[in-house]
């Protein structure tokens, strides 16, 4: 209203000035700039309600989320404060105001927030930390205020006594204050969020619960994490084998599976996959089956889909005959060393180019490990070095194809040093010199390279046999590799 009055006065003054013969173009320009800026702030300062409001009744429930049993259990315990609102009030318990979901991308944090809304029968508004940051001072704070007002009005409109506000990527909005020296808008927005969370009343008509998600909790301002704001922190980690199996069952319920499909074997072969990866895996397997004209998805489609998810689509670039044989020797070296140090670990060896990889040895993890011994880390280094050592023994020299292998070997060797497992003993990562670390890393890698050389020299003929078969077939299974190696042992 005030803006309209001022606009009317400005227009009248401009007409009067023009009547007196005064140049009014600067005034007109300033008026236009003021109107444009005012329009941008007004329209971009508000959180677009239609975009962010989700009806949880049409979304997922906790039963639809696999591989996160521990996180779901912790989340339900916290949500019971919202469900049993009257009971906890009688006990004098202060309801929680915020729940922080922490975990890698693709583990289901957004799904958990939507399921929480359905579990508590709450209105649900979803937004992202990046939506609050603008170049205009005060816009982010205005959006935060509007977000909480919208949550309350939406809950009243839907006849519910609770609302959940979900903020994804909260590390953008809630980064430690003072880290953006040239942009105080970040700090103002965070301050407003803290004020709104402090102002949440649990005895009003609508109970507000804030659920936020991040994969970088170390970046968050300590004021956000203190009791009375984000009271609970729930870790949403990568699923283990049983969790992956559960997720695969969920994402294959609506897909025609062949009789040879073994989901447990697929779960075993997808160590390190998140829920998003597994959903994509099932989708890619269905696409491959459609390409083949198969009425159902077969085990071979899932196996090829695993390689595609890890490495990408097959490349159109074809190596020369000489390059192809070198790649085959390289991958055969990885595979034979892998079988030597971890019997039964190789699932597939392929020299079909995918993405930036010219070849690949996929290992089937039998169990998920949370900690590693020095011996296990040394075995990983030996497998990484198997390719380049094989090239030296068979072809007489190395190639640039070993660059990623060396990088991986060095990273693992540094882990050995910094965890106190090397001959240096316990070291301070900040105080030890780079030269000392480099010297110890070189010693570790050189000693293990000598061990790899001994293994491959002993199986040199089998190395060449596997390489020739790879060049001819382009891919062989771990079972075929073990058949070749076991035949050698019988003859010996």
- Catalytic position from the list 74, 331, 391, 440: 331
Cα–Cα nearest to 212, from 75, 330, 63 = 75
Domain locations in the chain? 2-44, 49-235, 241-311, 321-491
Rounded mean pLDDT of the chain?
80
Averaged pLDDT, 444-453: 93
pLDDT for residue 67: 82
Q: Which two tokens stand for residue 464?
A: 């060449």
Please, is 190 exposed, middle or buried when counting C-beta atoms within 10 Å of its C-beta (0-12, 13-18, 19+)? Answer: buried
Architecture of domain 321-491: Up-down Bundle (1.20)
pLDDT digits 0-9 by tens, 93-108: 777 888 999 988 888 8
Among 196, 227, 229, which Cα is nearest to 211's?
A: 229
Interatomic CA distance for residues 288 and 15, integer angstroms: 71
pLDDT in tens, 114-142: 888 888 888 888 888 776 665 444 567 77
- Answer whether residue 77 shows pLDDT above 90: no
The b/e string for 293-313 (b: 16+ C-beta within 10 A; e otherwise) is: eeeebbbbbbbbbbbbbbbee
Spatial separation of the C-alpha atoms in residues 381 and 366, rounded to whole Å: 19
Instruction: Note the pLDDT of residue 45.
Output: 42
DSSP class of residue 128 equals: E
Residue 294 CA to residue 75 CA, distance in Å, equals 42
pLDDT at 184 over 60: no
Of the ranges 228-237, 373-382, 395-404, the best mean pLDDT one? 373-382
- Dump pLDDT digits (tens) for 241-282: 888 899 999 999 889 999 899 998 888 878 778 888 899 999
Give the pLDDT band (50/70/90) at residue 410: very high
Question: Which residues, in sequence order, are CB contacts of 378 under 8 Å at separation 6+?
Answer: 416, 444, 448
Report CA torsion sign: 365, 368, 370, 372. Answer: negative
CATH 3.40.50.300 is right for the domain spanning 49-235 = yes
Structure tokens at 261: 């499909």
Residue 349 DSSP SS3: strand
241-311 CATH pick, 1.20.120.1770, 3.40.630.30, 3.40.50.1370, 1.10.8.60: 1.10.8.60
Q: pLDDT tens across 346-394, in order? A: 888 888 776 566 777 877 655 556 678 899 999 999 999 999 999 999 9
pLDDT for 316 beyond 60: no
The verdict on whether 331 is a catalytic residue reads yes
Q: Hunting for tokens 């099932």 — which residue is that? A: 282
């Amino acid at each position: 209203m005030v803006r309209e009055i001022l606009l009317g006065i400005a227009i009248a003054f401009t007409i009067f000035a023009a009547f007196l013969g005064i140049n009014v173009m600067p005034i007109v320009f300033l008026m236009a700039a003021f109107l444009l800026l005012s329009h941008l702030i007004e329209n971009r300062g508000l959180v677009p309600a239609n975009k962010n409001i989700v009806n949880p009744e049409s979304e997922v429930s906790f039963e639809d989320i696999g591989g996160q049993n521990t996180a779901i259990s912790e989340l339900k315990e916290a949500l019971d404060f919202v469900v049993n609102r009257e009971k906890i009030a009688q006990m004098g318990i202060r309801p929680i105001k915020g729940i922080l979901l922490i975990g890698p991308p693709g583990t289901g944090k957004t799904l958990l927030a939507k399921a929480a809304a359905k579990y508590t029968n709450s209105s649900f508004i979803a937004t992202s930390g990046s939506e609050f940051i603008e170049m205009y001072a005060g816009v982010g704070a205005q959006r935060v205020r509007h977000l909480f007002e919208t949550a309350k009005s939406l809950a009243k409109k839907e006849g519910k006594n609770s609302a959940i506000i979900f903020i994804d990527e909260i590390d953008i909005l809630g980064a430690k204050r003072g880290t953006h020296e040239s942009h105080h808008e970040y700090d103002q927005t965070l301050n407003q969020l803290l004020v709104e969370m402090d102002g949440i009343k649990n005895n009003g008509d609508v109970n507000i619960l804030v659920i936020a998600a991040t994969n970088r909790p170390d970046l968050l301002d300590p004021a956000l994490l203190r009791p009375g704001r984000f009271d609970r922190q729930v870790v949403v980690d990568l699923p283990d084998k049983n969790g992956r199996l559960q997720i695969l069952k969920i994402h294959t319920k609506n897909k025609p599976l062949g009789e040879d499909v073994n989901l447990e074997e697929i779960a075993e072969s997808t160590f390190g996959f998140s829920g998003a990866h597994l959903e994509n895996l099932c989708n890619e397997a269905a696409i491959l089956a459609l390409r083949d004209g198969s009425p159902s998805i077969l085990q071979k489609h899932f196996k090829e889909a695993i390689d595609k998810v890890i490495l990408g689509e097959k490349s159109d670039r074809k190596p020369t005959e000489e390059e192809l044989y070198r790649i085959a020797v390289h991958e055969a070296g990885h595979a034979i060393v892998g079988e030597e140090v971890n019997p039964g670990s190789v699932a597939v060896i392929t020299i079909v180019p995918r993405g930036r990889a010219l070849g690949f040895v996929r290992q089937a993890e039998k169990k998920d490990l949370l900690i590693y011994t020095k011996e296990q880390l040394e075995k990983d280094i030996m497998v990484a070095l198997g390719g380049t050592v094989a090239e030296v023994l068979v072809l007489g020299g190395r190639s640039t194809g070993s660059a990623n292998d060396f990088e991986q070997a060095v990273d693992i060797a540094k882990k050995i040093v910094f965890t106190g497992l090397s001959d240096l003993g316990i070291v301070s990562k900040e105080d030890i010199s780079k030269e000392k670390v480099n010297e110890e890393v070189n010693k570790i890698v050189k000693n293990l390279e000598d061990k790899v050389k001994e293994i491959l020299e002993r199986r040199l003929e089998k190395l060449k046999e596997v390489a020739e078969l790879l060049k001819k077939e382009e891919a062989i299974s771990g079972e075929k590799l073990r058949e070749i190696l076991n035949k050698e042992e019988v003859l010996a």
